[in-house]
């Protein structure tokens, strides 16, 4: 166990515990706040692994944008404040979910741990530094990178279009006889 | 120096927790939180694999950045759909029986039809004002 191992164990314990709390808590807003703790400490785990750029992007995008979006969505959908039992599925379904989650963890661990057994990364002389990542992004990976900007634009327009679509539908719904009669009557009187 | 089996174990743990979160929640936003945890497990695994010595093309950190971007796009569209669902049905319970009626009779229709909407021609509102003015004048006299 080196010092980095110890630090990563501590940060990883915080990450796993807060992730567990965010999927089990009975309070809706607390789930989002525990998710914030989990993603923030995962950014710390990236720092320990020697990827400063990924850690900072994780802080900016996940903690700064996605969790805030989730909190806004909770507010806009009138999330109940205080403990609320209705946010969980029935008990048998939760037991099945726990079994499936444990099975996923076991499967992945039994696959990954032999793969990474004995593998070490020497982070004092790192192989991928931030300038190398930048060169790779704008060199080898430049076309996927440009495609991602198109994807972001499409997602933005798509999210806007989804809400506009329903607004149009709501506006088209009240084509009822009452409205046409009331709007026609004064015009006919004047003409 | 760091042993890479630790982050691999954490990635497996996070994926399992995320699967439980997706299956154990009824609130649609909380299901999304489980999806985010699974995505983060994938990110951690990419970073772990990328920090092995001799990983080519800086693929680990670069692909992690790409996955973070895709997650941002995904959650934007997902939250827009959830908000639309809340506006149409009044709840975001994913286990509720869906309303599949073809012609939704919204209870708010009647209340809205009485109000002068922005789509009404201006004559209608002028006529309404004309009807209201004598009453106001009568109040002023008395």
Domain membership of residue B113 as a residue range: 108-137
Residue B2's DSSP bridge partners are A121
B52 touches chain A (CB under 8 A): yes
Number of domains making up chain B: 2
Q: Are residues B24 and B82 in the same domain?
A: yes
Burial state string for A108-139 with b = 16 or more CB within 10 A and e = fewer than 16: bbeebeeebeebbbebeebbbbeebbeebbee
What are the φ and ψ backbone dihedral angles of B119, each rounded to 5 degrees? -85, -10
Listed as ranges, residues in chain B with pLDDT below 70 are 101-142
Is residue B142 situated within a structural domain? no
pLDDT on residue A170: 53
**Distance (Å) of CA B115 to CA A141, A174, A176, B110, B131:** 56, 12, 14, 9, 15
Q: Are residues B11 and B80 in the same domain?
A: yes
Does the distance separating the beta carbons of B83 and A93 come in below 8 Å? no
Does the distance separating the beta carbons of B11 and A89 come in below 8 Å? no
Is residue B36 situated within a structural domain? yes
Q: Are residues B80 and B112 in the same domain?
A: no
Which residues of B are less than 8 Å from A9 in CB distance? 6
Nearest to B77 among A12, A155, A182 (CB): A155
Q: Are residues B82 and B128 in the same domain?
A: no
CATH code for position B11: 1.10.287.3510
Q: Are residues B78 and B112 in the same domain?
A: no
pLDDT on residue A109: 96
pLDDT on residue A180: 42
Q: How many CB atoms lie within 10 A of CB A189?
A: 9
Q: Which residues contact A159 (CB under 8 A, 6 or more apart)?
A: B76, B77, B79, B80
Does the distance separating the beta carbons of A173 and B6 come in below 8 Å? no
Does the distance separating the beta carbons of B66 and A88 come in below 8 Å? no
Which chain B residue lies closest to A31 (C-alpha atoms)? B30
Spatial distance between the Cα atoms of B62 and B100, rounded to a whole number of angstroms: 44
Which chain B residue lies closest to A56 (C-alpha atoms)? B65
Model confidence at A5: pLDDT above 80: yes
pLDDT on residue B114: 46
Q: What is the ipTM of this complex?
A: 0.84
pLDDT on residue A44: 95
pLDDT on residue B115: 47
Which chain A residue lies closest to B48 (C-alpha atoms)? A49
Q: Are residues B75 and B112 in the same domain?
A: no
Q: Are residues B58 and B112 in the same domain?
A: no
Does the distance separating the beta carbons of B119 and A51 come in below 8 Å? no
Does the distance separating the beta carbons of B43 and A152 come in below 8 Å? no
**In chain A, positions 98-127, which contact chain B (CB-CB < 8 Å)?**
98, 100-106, 108-109, 112-113, 115-124, 126-127
B6 touches chain A (CB under 8 A): yes
The model's pLDDT over A112-169, given as tens digits with 9 standing for 90+, comes to: 999 998 888 887 777 788 899 999 999 999 999 999 999 999 999 999 998 877 555 5
Disruptive mutation site among B18, B27, B28 for chain A (greatest number of A CBs within 10 Å): B27
Q: Which residues contact A152 (CB under 8 A, 6 or more apart)?
A: B69, B72, B73
């Amino acid at each position: 166990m080196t010092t980095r191992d110890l630090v990563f164990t501590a940060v990883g314990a915080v990450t796993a515990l807060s992730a567990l709390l965010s999927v089990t808590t009975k309070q809706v807003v607390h789930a989002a706040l525990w998710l914030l703790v989990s993603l923030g400490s995962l950014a710390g785990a990236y720092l320990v692994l020697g990827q400063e750029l990924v850690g900072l992007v994780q802080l900016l995008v996940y903690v700064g944008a996605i969790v805030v979006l989730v909190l806004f969505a909770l507010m806009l959908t009138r999330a109940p404040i205080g403990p609320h039992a209705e946010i969980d599925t029935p008990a048998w379904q939760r037991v099945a979910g726990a079994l499936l989650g444990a099975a996923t963890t076991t499967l992945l661990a039994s696959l990954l741990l032999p793969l990474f057994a004995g593998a070490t990364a020497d982070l004092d002389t790192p192989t991928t530094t931030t300038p190398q990542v930048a060169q790779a992004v704008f060199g080898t990976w430049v076309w996927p990178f440009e495609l991602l900007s198109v994807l972001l634009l499409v997602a933005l327009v798509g999210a806007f279009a989804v809400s506009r679509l329903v607004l149009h539908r709501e506006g088209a719904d009240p084509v009822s006889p009452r409205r046409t009669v009331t709007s026609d009557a004064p015009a006919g009187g004047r003409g | 120096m760091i042993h890479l089996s630790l982050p691999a174990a954490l990635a497996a743990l996070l994926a399992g927790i995320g699967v439980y979160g997706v299956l154990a929640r009824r609130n649609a936003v909380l299901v999304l939180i489980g999806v985010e945890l699974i995505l983060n497990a994938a990110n951690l695994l990419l970073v772990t694999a990328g920090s092995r010595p001799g990983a080519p093309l800086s693929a680990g950190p670069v692909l992690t950045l790409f996955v973070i971007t895709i997650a941002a796009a995904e959650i934007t569209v997902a939250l827009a759909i959830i908000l639309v669902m809340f506006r149409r049905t009044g709840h975001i319970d994913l286990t509720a029986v869906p309303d599949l009626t073809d012609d939704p009779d919204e209870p708010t229709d009647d209340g809205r039809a009485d109000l002068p909407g922005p789509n009404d021609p201006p004559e209608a509102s002028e006529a309404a004002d004309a009807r209201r003015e004598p009453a106001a004048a009568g109040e002023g006299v008395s």
